[in-house]
Chain A
């Protein structure tokens, strides 16, 4: 069983915290800090296994980690997992991230923590390894992304005539439109244009009402 998966950067800032056993938030942070201090003082050319973070589990547990550029990927596992297997799994996870984000870097993890979680969910479920085949993982992620996109565009289409709709629509519509646009995540649409447009509408609307 995998007890926890932690991703943090060289300064110990958490980028992904996934516990498969309940810990209160303060303890979680404490574990992250402690784990960070444990791995930080280790050179890159020494082994990737660490025993006894005192907070997680007992002697049965091990920390298995990999260090990529600015990020540490740490898995806390018990003795039922193969150490080398987990190292491979971390590699699979990171390569999957790389595929999904196209050249993943720390910034991707910072701004898309939710997506990283969704990817992780296809690899590990409830502390148990779900899938190790990267193609399968990527295929499922993409299918879910497509599903999400189709929902967003469907929402956009149905939103078009909304401002004219008789009641209730007025207050809800713009917000929904905005969040819909946001959800598409199109970086090329500059935000201020939206705001500019909408700003102009404000006086109109109040007059209309």
Chain B
């Protein structure tokens, strides 16, 4: 046995490290997979070892294997073990592996919460850093919720290294847990002005990401960003800000106006191409946003276009690419300025670089006009022939179609030309876009009535040419056009010259090799064709010919009946029976044509794609209501076996849609006709302008057969679209001549006109070109009273939608980072505001600042106001933007403040006297109210702003607190405050609270609220305590232990304010009392006196505890571990309800409830030095017993004493 152990350890000496593994893999090129599976077996063995170094090594190797594509999620638990190693070396390996393979579906990820929290609060900045980096890759909604508060604290870390990471990761947290955005935002905003450029850049980065998704919520930051833009020298930050402005300007055109000047300056001055480019981009965005209002920015457009031209002409391909990219943005609003550079764009079409060609293609879209469309498409077609890669060719194809079909075929003057372009495109091998061509063919044929005859002739040629059918197997994409061809020939069969030939073509045996959905269309349209032939023959009184056709059908249809495709089979057998029946009738010499063609009678109208969606729901119709009760689960299981067919159908579901529609349409068409016929009020439309097309020379010029053997793929008999170019030119020339003639006549008439006439001979404008065909482009049908909604474009699953949060609204009480309380307690806890020591502490700081700020503010009131009001800022010339927008976030930061704000308007109406009646219960609240009095004046001045917030405030705000308290309680809890009286005399009253933070294991912060109760002015306040060995007041550097710490404010009569003092502590297991003195000078009309107030500061053990949530599984583990010592107490004579008791203990002693069952609850808390404290509280008839377990027995017994004291008061 022992030998085995030793042998095991010796084996491990040969454990491969990462380098060995890599070397090994490189040496086993032939049997790599086998070697790696062997290595994975070894790794599995290594992971079973207790030694963390071995485990870390194994995990490191796994990370490498993950890169090679091996799934390592099975080792997730081991990775967590390595993450929790105490050594940075291993921790970093663990986090790296986790960041590579953890994701939201990793089930063990919830075990990491506490470990990550511990690492975040680690004294070593690199432990924290590594945890932040890892977390940024695998943060889940749960982790985000639980850690948001910890990360938020880190945003104010002393080390910029941590700050910038914490700031960046907040974006991920927001994404996963959108509720955290509002509470964290003020601090994030603060970081925009962080002294460290890295942190600043990170904050800009995050806000830009946020604003990109929901720009309107960030408009109020514009002044701040404007200031940054004019002051920052960091190009990264500048680029981000400029990009952000690009997103903001569409929402606020005035902002754009303000930006133009600094941006143009930057464009002229900067040497960095990246910055120049982004500036140009944003100027373009500005111009776009302004385009409607102000047309006189041509100078800026010229500047942009000019700079872009320089970029495009640059030899650096990257700049060329970007230049084209930006050009395409200008194109949308200022096509004229871009069209001037057509030469450049066309030149880029010939570039060897595909990316550049693609960009140039984008530009072409906006450059076509009626005049040059044919020419440009010709050029593109030549590219299609040359293009080597299918992707580029496909891109060309879609672009050609886009260009031609844009704006309802605005630029197409000759649809024959367009149809022949489409037909030519069918020669493309292996394109994915056959369906696109097909859709275009259908669209044109349906909507341009005049072209139908021509289209039908082309389509029948397509059906006739075998190349499409023959190669349907390899060229799966292109055979889609047959779908369109078959349908067009069938639907408009009256235009067919040789219907019989087409019919035969459609019934060829080869057709059965086509995909099912195409065959189905074939079958359906064969009948249409058949119907029209029958009619023709019967009219021509050729019954034999008609019978021949029927015979042909009867002969050929069976091949479709045998089809494996359900749709084809069904249609074919149905039709076969029909045809057989017709045959019988024909044999009896009964005329059938009329009845058969009645099957397909009626006009087909195009329907807008969104028409269906926009049909208004009739009143009283509830679409969500069940018509029949939903089938039970068991029934649905019974249905499952049908799956055999379902699968088949699903595969073609997409392709079959149009078919279904078509049938549907036919049915509806019939129904409508019926209805219209029966409706006496229906006004029949005037005879359709269907036959209005003219015989243009183009039709006659269709070449007969032109077989060119060098291009084997050319469709025989197809007109080459190129010829249309010539035709078009001829036509236009004729037109011009004609026009000139007319003009001359005119001119002759008005000889006294202007002597200088414009040389209009060859500068025809778009309007001069008359279309070759009198086409009436049928507009798509919309249902009557369609709803004018375009919101259906929004994706409801957009993850960024959740972050669409109004950030200017004051923070409500309910919006807080939930980290410090446990989920289970959410509804049972009262006044949760103050049971969140960490939050509170953080939040008070800004308050102090705010105070200072307000003092400053008084001096520069006017200035400040300008910065505050976005409208005002935008309406003036750029100021140096003095501390703009700083004010508001800080108001938001004070959690209690918004409440006041909400109440304010009401209170002001009621008068100030009423204020005091409920303020006694909460000194904190009182203090802020007092403060308010002081600033009443200011408030009035700012009332404009407040009105806004007043409006936004829900009316229930005042009631928020009582509701929260009593919502689930039978008896409402009295309001609780963690502040207790420190000392009091006639001058001053001091209350205090102590808060610890998990981040600082030997520090607590004492917040002292000082309230001036006299009518004197209190100043020079200084607080001093007698340090003990264990507990010391943190004094400013350089002062001795006997010096006091000055209070950073003065107190006018009736005012209160809060000061914070930091104490360092060594041991926290015992409660402590420190004697101290507050000295101050009281000044009134009679003079000033020096006064003192002694106090005793009581550091209870409770004050070292920090409310920390704990999951029940972790809690159970902790209890089982056996590391904790145990003790218990029992208190009798308690009448309070368990609910309230629990709330009270949680609140005053900083516990969080882990689990609660009836009148029994387990609670957890943690000391700032990491002691776990677990409590089990049980309530009997009149007594309460508490069992406690804690890592330190002294701490536990002291804590229990304190708990007892609290309970005794109940």
Contact = CB atoms under 8 A, between A and B. Distances in A.
A131 B129 CA distance: 13
A128 B209 contact: yes
Contact of B64 (A113, A133, A206): A113
Contacts of B1108: none
Contacts of B205: 128-129
A136 B197 CA distance: 11
A162 to B, nearest CB: 12
Interface string A181-209: 01100000000001100100010011001
B67 A45 contact: no
A88 to B, nearest CB: 7
A175 B54 CA distance: 8
Interface in A127-148: 127-133, 136, 140, 143-144, 147-148
A122 B375 CA distance: 53
B168 A80 contact: no
Contacts of B1023: none
Contacts of A152: 89
A7 B23 CA distance: 19
Interface in B114-130: 124, 126, 130
Given A47-B318, A206-B3, A84 B103 contact: no
Interface stretch (A18-26, A67-75, A95-103): A18-26
Interface stretch (B131-139, B574-582, B735-743): B131-139
A82 B15 contact: no
A117 interface: yes
Contact of A85 (B87, B103, B168, B236): B236
A126 B137 contact: yes
A22 to B, nearest CB: 4
Contact of A128 (B14, B69, B206): B206
A198 B60 CA distance: 25
A14 B22 CA distance: 13
B1145 to A, nearest CB: 39
Contacts of B318: 47-49, 83-84, 87
A177 to B, nearest CB: 8
A104 interface: no
A195 B236 CA distance: 52
Interface of B: 2-3, 5-6, 8-10, 12-15, 17-19, 22-23, 26, 49-51, 53-54, 57, 60, 63-64, 66-71, 87-89, 92-93, 96, 100, 103-104, 124, 126, 130, 132-133, 136-137, 161, 164-165, 168-169, 171-172, 198, 201-202, 205-206, 208-209, 212, 235-236, 239, 243, 273-274, 277-278, 317-318, 320-322, 352-356, 358
Contacts of A46: 317, 352-356
Given A84-B273, A128-B205, A174 B136 contact: no
Contact of B168 (A25, A84, A128, A155): A128
A9 interface: no
Contacts of A1: 209
A113 B15 contact: no
A40 interface: no
A165 interface: no
Contacts, number: 199
Given A112-B18, A126-B169, A182-B57, 4 more contacts: A25-B66, A175-B13, A175-B54, A179-B57
Given A130-B168, A151-B87, A179-B57, A205 B6 contact: yes
Interface in A54-82: 80, 82
A202 B2 CA distance: 13
Nearest to A177: B13
Contacts of A174: 9-10, 12-13
Nearest to B6: A205
A88 B274 contact: yes
Nearest to B21: A111
B13 A118 contact: no
B1063 to A, nearest CB: 30
A182 B201 CA distance: 39
A195 B137 CA distance: 40
B172 A126 contact: yes
Contact of B19 (A49, A82, A111): A111
Contacts of A128: 168, 171, 202, 205-206, 209
A206 B1 CA distance: 11
A166 to B, nearest CB: 14
Contact of A80 (B132, B133, B243): B243
B212 A80 contact: yes
Interface of A: 1, 14, 16-18, 20, 22, 24-26, 28-29, 42-43, 45-51, 80, 82-85, 87-88, 110-114, 117-118, 121, 125-133, 136, 140, 143-144, 147-148, 151-152, 155, 170-176, 178-180, 182-183, 194-195, 198, 202, 205-206, 209
A170 B9 contact: yes
Contact of A147 (B2, B18, B126, B168): B126
Contacts of B273: 84
B355 A22 contact: no
A114 B93 contact: yes
B53 A179 contact: yes
Contacts of A130: 164-165, 168, 198, 202
Nearest to A175: B12
B274 A121 contact: no
Given A84-B274, A130-B165, A131-B164, A20 B137 contact: yes
18 contacts: A14-B68, A47-B355, A49-B355, A51-B355, A118-B92, A125-B165, A125-B169, A126-B137, A126-B171, A171-B5, A171-B9, A174-B10, A175-B53, A176-B53, A179-B53, A179-B54, A194-B13, A198-B10
A155 B89 CA distance: 11
Given A22-B103, A49-B321, A85 B172 contact: no
Given A84-B273, A131-B164, A176 B352 contact: no
A195 to B, nearest CB: 7
Given A29-B69, A151-B88, A178 B169 contact: no
Nearest to B46: A175
Nearest to A89: B236
A191 to B, nearest CB: 9
A13 B14 CA distance: 27
A172 to B, nearest CB: 5
Given A14-B67, A88-B274, A209 B165 contact: no
A110 B165 CA distance: 28
Contact of B208 (A14, A22, A80): A80
A178 B96 contact: no
A130 B204 CA distance: 11
Contact of B8 (A47, A85, A113, A171): A171
Nearest to B102: A22
B6 A47 contact: no
Nearest to B202: A130
A175 B8 CA distance: 9
A68 to B, nearest CB: 16
Contacts of A129: 201, 205, 236
B136 to A, nearest CB: 3
Contacts of A194: 13
Contacts of B64: 113-114
Contacts of A117: 63, 96
B246 to A, nearest CB: 10
Contact of A126 (B5, B100, B168, B235): B168
A119 to B, nearest CB: 12
A162 B487 CA distance: 87
Contact of B104 (A17, A22, A114): A22
B17 A170 contact: no
Given A117-B96, A125-B133, A132-B236, A176 B51 contact: yes
Contacts of B26: 110
Contacts of B130: 121
A47 B12 contact: no
A48 B322 CA distance: 11
B6 A206 contact: yes
Contacts of B49: 175
A155 B278 CA distance: 52
